[in-house]
Amino acid sequence: MSNVSFLVFFLFVAFWIYSIVSVYKAEFKEEKQKTFWLIGIVFVPPLAIFYFFMKKNLLLK
């Protein structure tokens, strides 16, 4: 693998871990949403990208 591939992989893994920690620490409007996003991001890592953009609508202010 090239260096660029390693960089992209490392950045995606770092973003994935950031999303998991963010979901775990955040206060959601509904507890069901927190469970859905945590399980979803762990088992389907590309959902981390969607969570990042939807985060403002899901969390308490």
- Residues spanned by the domain of 50: 3-58
Number of domain units in the chain: 1
Q: Where does the chain have alpha helices with state H?
A: 3-25, 31-43, 47-58
Structure pTM? Answer: 0.86
Phi and psi dihedrals of 9, rounded to 5? -60, -45
Predicted confidence at residue 1, as pLDDT, reads 73
Tokens of 49: 């990208």
Q: pLDDT tens digits for 7-42?
A: 999 999 999 999 999 999 999 999 899 999 999 999
Predicted confidence at residue 46, as pLDDT, reads 92
* DSSP 8-state code for residue 2: -
Report d(CA 30, CA 20) in Å as an integer: 17
Q: What per-residue confidence (pLDDT) applies to 61?
A: 74
The 10s digit of each residue's pLDDT in 37-57 is 999 999 999 999 999 999 999
* pLDDT over 70, % of the chain: 100
